[in-house]
Amino acid sequence: MGITLASPSRLASLDGRVPTVATLCSHSSLQIFHGARSEGLPTLGICVGAPPRFYDAFPLARPDRFLSVPNVKELAGAVSRLRSEGAVLVPHGSFVEYVGAEAFAELDVPVFGNRAVLAWESDRRKERDWLESAGVPMPQLFEDRSEIRGPVIVKYYGAKGGKGFFLAKNREALEDFHATGPHVIQEYVLGTRYYIHFFYSPLVDRGYRVGHGSLELLGMDRRDEANIDELYKLGAQEELFRAGIRPTFVVTGNVPVILRESLLPKAFEVGARIVERSIELFGGMVGPFCVEGIMTEDLEFKVFEISTRIVAGTNLFISGSPYSDLIEPGLSTGRRIAREIKQAQAQGRLAEVLS
Protein backbone atom coordinates (compact mmCIF):
# COMPACT_ATOMS: atom_id res chain seq x y z
CA MET A 1 0.00 0.00 0.00
CA GLY A 2 1.14 3.53 -0.75
CA ILE A 3 0.61 6.84 1.00
CA THR A 4 -2.92 7.95 1.95
CA LEU A 5 -3.60 11.47 0.67
CA ALA A 6 -7.36 11.84 1.28
CA SER A 7 -9.50 11.35 4.36
CA PRO A 8 -12.59 9.11 4.15
CA SER A 9 -14.86 12.18 4.58
CA ARG A 10 -13.25 13.93 1.60
CA LEU A 11 -13.99 10.87 -0.55
CA ALA A 12 -17.47 10.12 0.85
CA SER A 13 -19.10 11.79 -2.18
CA LEU A 14 -17.66 9.02 -4.38
CA ASP A 15 -18.94 6.07 -2.34
CA GLY A 16 -20.49 3.46 -4.58
CA ARG A 17 -20.59 5.60 -7.71
CA VAL A 18 -18.57 6.17 -10.86
CA PRO A 19 -16.44 9.34 -10.43
CA THR A 20 -17.19 12.27 -12.74
CA VAL A 21 -14.10 13.92 -14.22
CA ALA A 22 -14.53 17.68 -13.77
CA THR A 23 -12.30 20.53 -14.82
CA LEU A 24 -12.41 24.17 -15.85
CA CYS A 25 -13.24 24.65 -19.55
CA SER A 26 -9.82 25.90 -20.66
CA HIS A 27 -6.13 24.93 -21.09
CA SER A 28 -6.18 21.13 -21.61
CA SER A 29 -9.86 20.47 -20.92
CA LEU A 30 -10.53 19.00 -24.39
CA GLN A 31 -7.88 16.39 -23.77
CA ILE A 32 -9.03 15.69 -20.19
CA PHE A 33 -12.69 15.21 -21.27
CA HIS A 34 -11.70 13.18 -24.32
CA GLY A 35 -9.49 10.96 -22.15
CA ALA A 36 -12.23 10.44 -19.54
CA ARG A 37 -14.79 9.64 -22.23
CA SER A 38 -12.39 7.08 -23.76
CA GLU A 39 -12.21 5.41 -20.35
CA GLY A 40 -15.99 5.48 -19.96
CA LEU A 41 -16.09 8.08 -17.17
CA PRO A 42 -18.72 10.85 -17.08
CA THR A 43 -17.48 14.43 -17.50
CA LEU A 44 -18.44 17.84 -16.14
CA GLY A 45 -17.21 21.13 -17.61
CA ILE A 46 -16.95 24.06 -15.19
CA CYS A 47 -17.44 27.33 -17.03
CA VAL A 48 -17.99 30.99 -16.30
CA GLY A 49 -21.35 32.00 -17.74
CA ALA A 50 -22.59 30.13 -20.81
CA PRO A 51 -20.74 26.96 -21.96
CA PRO A 52 -18.02 27.91 -24.47
CA ARG A 53 -19.18 27.35 -28.04
CA PHE A 54 -15.95 25.77 -29.23
CA TYR A 55 -16.90 22.45 -27.62
CA ASP A 56 -19.60 22.08 -30.29
CA ALA A 57 -16.77 21.79 -32.81
CA PHE A 58 -15.21 18.82 -30.98
CA PRO A 59 -17.92 16.25 -30.26
CA LEU A 60 -15.51 13.65 -28.84
CA ALA A 61 -14.20 16.12 -26.28
CA ARG A 62 -17.43 17.85 -25.24
CA PRO A 63 -18.25 17.32 -21.54
CA ASP A 64 -21.50 15.49 -20.77
CA ARG A 65 -22.70 18.33 -18.54
CA PHE A 66 -21.71 21.86 -17.64
CA LEU A 67 -21.62 23.63 -14.30
CA SER A 68 -21.81 27.36 -14.79
CA VAL A 69 -20.44 29.69 -12.11
CA PRO A 70 -20.58 33.49 -12.08
CA ASN A 71 -16.86 33.78 -11.31
CA VAL A 72 -14.13 31.13 -10.96
CA LYS A 73 -13.06 32.72 -7.70
CA GLU A 74 -16.45 31.71 -6.31
CA LEU A 75 -15.99 28.02 -6.94
CA ALA A 76 -16.16 27.38 -3.18
CA GLY A 77 -19.86 28.23 -3.49
CA ALA A 78 -20.35 25.29 -5.87
CA VAL A 79 -18.74 22.68 -3.60
CA SER A 80 -21.99 20.95 -2.58
CA ARG A 81 -23.10 20.76 -6.22
CA LEU A 82 -19.72 19.31 -7.22
CA ARG A 83 -19.90 16.75 -4.43
CA SER A 84 -23.44 15.77 -5.37
CA GLU A 85 -22.22 15.21 -8.96
CA GLY A 86 -19.49 12.84 -7.67
CA ALA A 87 -16.89 15.16 -9.15
CA VAL A 88 -13.16 14.63 -9.10
CA LEU A 89 -11.46 17.93 -9.96
CA VAL A 90 -8.55 17.63 -12.37
CA PRO A 91 -6.25 20.62 -11.86
CA HIS A 92 -4.61 22.27 -14.85
CA GLY A 93 -2.57 25.45 -15.17
CA SER A 94 -5.42 27.87 -15.77
CA PHE A 95 -7.71 26.20 -13.21
CA VAL A 96 -5.20 26.59 -10.35
CA GLU A 97 -4.15 30.05 -11.55
CA TYR A 98 -7.70 31.46 -11.76
CA VAL A 99 -8.95 29.91 -8.50
CA GLY A 100 -5.66 30.68 -6.71
CA ALA A 101 -3.36 27.96 -5.33
CA GLU A 102 -4.43 28.49 -1.71
CA ALA A 103 -8.16 28.60 -2.41
CA PHE A 104 -7.85 25.57 -4.69
CA ALA A 105 -6.08 23.59 -1.95
CA GLU A 106 -8.98 24.34 0.42
CA LEU A 107 -11.85 23.14 -1.81
CA ASP A 108 -13.70 20.30 -0.08
CA VAL A 109 -14.06 18.26 -3.28
CA PRO A 110 -11.83 15.31 -4.26
CA VAL A 111 -8.90 16.51 -6.37
CA PHE A 112 -6.81 14.30 -8.64
CA GLY A 113 -3.22 14.17 -7.30
CA ASN A 114 -1.80 15.49 -4.06
CA ARG A 115 -3.07 19.02 -3.39
CA ALA A 116 -0.19 19.58 -0.93
CA VAL A 117 2.06 20.01 -3.96
CA LEU A 118 0.41 23.35 -4.82
CA ALA A 119 2.08 25.13 -1.91
CA TRP A 120 5.49 23.86 -3.06
CA GLU A 121 5.00 24.78 -6.68
CA SER A 122 3.46 28.22 -6.24
CA ASP A 123 6.35 29.59 -4.16
CA ARG A 124 9.59 29.84 -6.19
CA ARG A 125 11.77 29.57 -3.08
CA LYS A 126 10.03 26.43 -1.80
CA GLU A 127 10.18 24.96 -5.29
CA ARG A 128 13.94 25.59 -5.41
CA ASP A 129 14.40 23.98 -1.95
CA TRP A 130 12.54 20.91 -3.18
CA LEU A 131 14.48 20.54 -6.44
CA GLU A 132 17.90 21.41 -5.03
CA SER A 133 17.49 19.07 -2.09
CA ALA A 134 16.56 16.39 -4.64
CA GLY A 135 19.96 16.91 -6.27
CA VAL A 136 18.52 18.39 -9.49
CA PRO A 137 20.84 20.88 -11.27
CA MET A 138 19.26 24.34 -11.52
CA PRO A 139 20.39 27.72 -12.90
CA GLN A 140 22.62 29.49 -10.39
CA LEU A 141 20.93 32.16 -8.22
CA PHE A 142 22.80 35.41 -7.57
CA GLU A 143 22.20 37.14 -4.24
CA ASP A 144 25.32 39.22 -4.77
CA ARG A 145 25.66 40.92 -8.17
CA SER A 146 29.48 41.00 -7.93
CA GLU A 147 29.47 37.21 -8.43
CA ILE A 148 27.86 37.47 -11.87
CA ARG A 149 30.18 36.22 -14.63
CA GLY A 150 27.89 35.74 -17.63
CA PRO A 151 24.37 36.46 -18.93
CA VAL A 152 21.53 36.60 -16.39
CA ILE A 153 17.75 36.65 -16.38
CA VAL A 154 15.83 38.75 -13.85
CA LYS A 155 12.52 37.14 -12.99
CA TYR A 156 9.71 38.82 -11.12
CA TYR A 157 7.61 36.75 -8.75
CA GLY A 158 4.28 35.77 -10.22
CA ALA A 159 5.13 37.36 -13.60
CA LYS A 160 2.47 36.03 -15.96
CA GLY A 161 4.05 34.66 -19.12
CA GLY A 162 7.42 36.00 -18.06
CA LYS A 163 6.18 39.57 -18.62
CA GLY A 164 8.82 42.10 -17.70
CA PHE A 165 11.62 39.52 -17.29
CA PHE A 166 14.91 41.28 -17.96
CA LEU A 167 17.88 39.75 -19.76
CA ALA A 168 21.38 41.11 -19.30
CA LYS A 169 24.39 39.95 -21.27
CA ASN A 170 26.69 40.56 -18.32
CA ARG A 171 27.04 42.34 -14.96
CA GLU A 172 27.71 45.72 -16.59
CA ALA A 173 24.47 45.49 -18.55
CA LEU A 174 22.63 45.04 -15.24
CA GLU A 175 23.90 48.33 -13.84
CA ASP A 176 21.13 50.45 -15.35
CA PHE A 177 18.48 47.98 -14.30
CA HIS A 178 16.24 48.94 -11.38
CA ALA A 179 13.78 46.30 -10.25
CA THR A 180 10.15 47.30 -9.81
CA GLY A 181 9.17 44.47 -7.46
CA PRO A 182 10.28 41.25 -5.75
CA HIS A 183 12.53 39.31 -8.12
CA VAL A 184 15.40 36.85 -8.43
CA ILE A 185 18.54 37.12 -10.57
CA GLN A 186 19.41 33.83 -12.23
CA GLU A 187 22.08 32.52 -14.55
CA TYR A 188 20.70 32.71 -18.11
CA VAL A 189 21.30 29.17 -19.32
CA LEU A 190 22.30 28.85 -22.97
CA GLY A 191 21.07 25.69 -24.62
CA THR A 192 17.90 24.01 -25.84
CA ARG A 193 14.66 24.04 -23.87
CA TYR A 194 12.75 20.82 -23.22
CA TYR A 195 9.44 20.50 -21.39
CA ILE A 196 9.27 16.85 -20.34
CA HIS A 197 5.85 15.36 -19.54
CA PHE A 198 5.97 12.69 -16.85
CA PHE A 199 3.28 10.75 -15.00
CA TYR A 200 3.87 9.20 -11.60
CA SER A 201 1.58 6.37 -10.59
CA PRO A 202 1.71 4.99 -7.05
CA LEU A 203 -0.50 2.11 -8.24
CA VAL A 204 1.63 0.58 -11.00
CA ASP A 205 4.16 -1.98 -9.79
CA ARG A 206 6.13 -2.51 -12.99
CA GLY A 207 8.05 -0.37 -15.50
CA TYR A 208 10.49 2.31 -14.29
CA ARG A 209 10.08 1.88 -10.55
CA VAL A 210 10.19 4.92 -8.29
CA GLY A 211 9.00 4.86 -4.66
CA HIS A 212 6.26 2.20 -4.48
CA GLY A 213 5.08 3.08 -7.98
CA SER A 214 6.20 3.78 -11.50
CA LEU A 215 7.42 6.79 -13.51
CA GLU A 216 6.12 7.09 -17.07
CA LEU A 217 7.32 9.42 -19.83
CA LEU A 218 4.30 10.49 -21.89
CA GLY A 219 5.67 13.22 -24.14
CA MET A 220 7.84 16.28 -24.66
CA ASP A 221 7.35 19.71 -26.14
CA ARG A 222 8.94 23.09 -26.49
CA ARG A 223 6.94 26.25 -25.95
CA ASP A 224 6.70 28.94 -28.56
CA GLU A 225 7.33 32.11 -26.63
CA ALA A 226 6.61 35.60 -27.93
CA ASN A 227 8.63 37.70 -28.35
CA ILE A 228 11.89 36.22 -27.21
CA ASP A 229 13.77 33.13 -28.28
CA GLU A 230 17.20 31.78 -27.45
CA LEU A 231 20.67 33.18 -27.70
CA TYR A 232 20.58 35.09 -30.99
CA LYS A 233 17.95 37.45 -29.66
CA LEU A 234 19.94 38.01 -26.48
CA GLY A 235 22.67 39.29 -28.81
CA ALA A 236 20.29 41.84 -30.31
CA GLN A 237 19.10 43.19 -26.93
CA GLU A 238 20.57 46.67 -27.18
CA GLU A 239 19.19 47.35 -30.62
CA LEU A 240 15.81 46.02 -29.57
CA PHE A 241 15.83 48.22 -26.49
CA ARG A 242 16.71 51.26 -28.58
CA ALA A 243 13.72 50.40 -30.75
CA GLY A 244 11.56 50.24 -27.62
CA ILE A 245 11.04 46.45 -27.78
CA ARG A 246 11.12 44.59 -24.46
CA PRO A 247 11.46 40.79 -24.36
CA THR A 248 8.62 38.74 -22.94
CA PHE A 249 8.09 35.00 -22.72
CA VAL A 250 4.34 34.89 -23.30
CA VAL A 251 3.51 31.36 -24.45
CA THR A 252 1.67 31.36 -27.77
CA GLY A 253 1.79 27.66 -28.66
CA ASN A 254 3.77 24.44 -28.43
CA VAL A 255 5.87 22.29 -30.75
CA PRO A 256 6.66 18.58 -30.32
CA VAL A 257 10.25 17.58 -29.62
CA ILE A 258 12.17 14.46 -28.74
CA LEU A 259 15.43 14.06 -26.87
CA ARG A 260 18.48 12.24 -28.17
CA GLU A 261 17.92 8.70 -26.98
CA SER A 262 21.23 8.76 -25.11
CA LEU A 263 19.85 11.62 -22.97
CA LEU A 264 16.73 9.76 -21.84
CA PRO A 265 18.47 8.20 -18.80
CA LYS A 266 19.25 11.74 -17.64
CA ALA A 267 15.61 12.79 -18.05
CA PHE A 268 14.36 9.80 -16.06
CA GLU A 269 16.94 10.35 -13.35
CA VAL A 270 15.80 13.96 -12.87
CA GLY A 271 12.11 12.92 -12.86
CA ALA A 272 12.76 10.12 -10.38
CA ARG A 273 14.70 12.36 -7.98
CA ILE A 274 11.92 14.94 -7.99
CA VAL A 275 9.30 12.30 -7.19
CA GLU A 276 11.40 10.61 -4.50
CA ARG A 277 12.01 13.93 -2.75
CA SER A 278 8.31 14.85 -3.02
CA ILE A 279 7.45 11.64 -1.16
CA GLU A 280 9.80 12.65 1.67
CA LEU A 281 8.64 16.27 1.77
CA PHE A 282 4.86 16.08 1.43
CA GLY A 283 3.67 12.55 0.74
CA GLY A 284 4.44 12.52 -2.98
CA MET A 285 3.40 14.07 -6.24
CA VAL A 286 0.86 11.89 -8.03
CA GLY A 287 -0.17 12.04 -11.69
CA PRO A 288 1.16 14.30 -14.44
CA PHE A 289 3.96 16.78 -13.96
CA CYS A 290 6.32 18.60 -16.29
CA VAL A 291 10.04 19.17 -15.80
CA GLU A 292 11.09 22.31 -17.64
CA GLY A 293 14.76 22.76 -18.35
CA ILE A 294 17.58 23.59 -20.69
CA MET A 295 20.06 21.10 -22.12
CA THR A 296 23.42 22.81 -22.44
CA GLU A 297 26.10 22.05 -25.03
CA ASP A 298 27.86 20.03 -22.31
CA LEU A 299 24.68 17.95 -22.10
CA GLU A 300 23.86 19.14 -18.62
CA PHE A 301 20.12 19.49 -18.01
CA LYS A 302 19.36 22.52 -15.83
CA VAL A 303 15.80 22.72 -14.53
CA PHE A 304 14.32 26.22 -14.26
CA GLU A 305 10.74 25.24 -13.39
CA ILE A 306 8.41 22.37 -12.60
CA SER A 307 4.66 22.25 -13.25
CA THR A 308 3.01 19.79 -10.93
CA ARG A 309 -0.05 18.95 -13.02
CA ILE A 310 -1.05 18.48 -16.66
CA VAL A 311 0.61 21.10 -18.90
CA ALA A 312 -0.85 22.44 -22.13
CA GLY A 313 2.07 21.00 -24.13
CA THR A 314 0.48 17.55 -23.68
CA ASN A 315 -2.34 18.74 -26.00
CA LEU A 316 0.04 17.87 -28.85
CA PHE A 317 -0.36 14.22 -27.99
CA ILE A 318 -4.10 13.58 -27.73
CA SER A 319 -3.58 10.59 -30.02
CA GLY A 320 -0.29 9.51 -28.49
CA SER A 321 3.34 10.62 -28.56
CA PRO A 322 6.61 8.98 -29.66
CA TYR A 323 7.00 7.99 -25.99
CA SER A 324 3.48 7.15 -24.81
CA ASP A 325 2.94 5.01 -27.92
CA LEU A 326 5.61 2.70 -26.53
CA ILE A 327 3.50 2.21 -23.39
CA GLU A 328 0.17 1.92 -25.17
CA PRO A 329 -0.63 3.21 -28.67
CA GLY A 330 -2.68 6.40 -28.61
CA LEU A 331 -2.32 7.07 -24.86
CA SER A 332 -2.78 10.76 -23.92
CA THR A 333 -2.09 12.31 -20.55
CA GLY A 334 -5.83 13.04 -20.23
CA ARG A 335 -6.66 9.39 -20.75
CA ARG A 336 -3.88 8.33 -18.39
CA ILE A 337 -5.46 10.46 -15.64
CA ALA A 338 -8.87 8.85 -16.14
CA ARG A 339 -7.27 5.39 -16.19
CA GLU A 340 -5.57 6.06 -12.85
CA ILE A 341 -8.85 7.14 -11.24
CA LYS A 342 -10.62 4.06 -12.58
CA GLN A 343 -7.90 1.65 -11.50
CA ALA A 344 -7.61 3.22 -8.06
CA GLN A 345 -11.34 2.81 -7.53
CA ALA A 346 -11.32 -0.79 -8.76
CA GLN A 347 -8.50 -1.57 -6.30
CA GLY A 348 -10.08 0.38 -3.41
CA ARG A 349 -7.11 2.78 -3.45
CA LEU A 350 -8.72 6.13 -4.36
CA ALA A 351 -7.21 7.73 -1.24
CA GLU A 352 -3.74 7.22 -2.76
CA VAL A 353 -4.41 9.19 -5.95
CA LEU A 354 -7.00 11.72 -4.82
CA SER A 355 -6.70 14.32 -2.08
- With binding defined as CB under 6 A, does residue 193 bind ligand AMP? yes
Does 211 contact ligand AMP by CB under 6 A?
Answer: no
Number of H helices, E strands in the chain: 12, 13
CA dist., res. 203 & res. 214, Å (int) = 8
Among 120, 142, 304, 323, the residue binding ligand AMP under the rule CB under 6 A is 304
105, 119 Cβ separation under 8 angstroms = yes
**234 lies in the binding site for ligand AMP (CB under 6 A):** no
C-beta of 86 vs 139, nearer to ligand AMP: 139
Instruction: Please enumerate in sequence order all residues whose Cβ is within 8 A of that of 52, keeping only pairs 6 or more positions apart, or say none.
Output: 25
State which of positions 263-292 bind ligand AMP (CB under 6 A).
none
Listed ranges 31-39, 129-137, 181-189, 238-246: which one lies at the site for ligand AMP (CB under 6 A): 181-189
Q: What mask, x for binding ligand AMP by CB under 6 A, covers residues 153 to 172? A: x--------x----------
User: CA-to-CA distance for 234 and 238, rounded, in angstroms?
Assistant: 9
Q: Does 247 bind ligand AMP (CB under 6 A)?
A: no
User: What residues between 89 and 148 interact with ligand AMP by CB under 6 A?
Assistant: 139
Q: What are the φ/ψ torsions at residue 7 (nearest 5 degrees)?
A: -80, 160
Judged by CB, which is closer to ligand AMP: 122, or 186?
A: 186
CB 47 within 8 A of CB 67: yes
CB of 251 to ligand AMP, least distance (A): 7
Q: Report the residue from 13, 186, 278, 333 that binds ligand AMP according to the rule CB under 6 A.
A: 186
- Closest distance between ligand AMP and the C-beta of residue 218, in Å? 20
How would you list the strands of the sheet with 166-168, edge to edge?
166-168, 152-156, 183-187
Under the binding rule (CB under 6 A), the answer on residue 200 touching ligand AMP is no
Q: For residue 13, what is the enclosing H or E element? A: none
Q: In sequence order, what are the residues at sequence separation of 6 or more whose Cβ sits closer than 8 angstroms to the Cβ of residue 179?
A: 154, 156
Residues in touch with ligand AMP (CB under 6 A):
139, 153, 162, 186-189, 193, 223, 225, 249, 294, 304-305
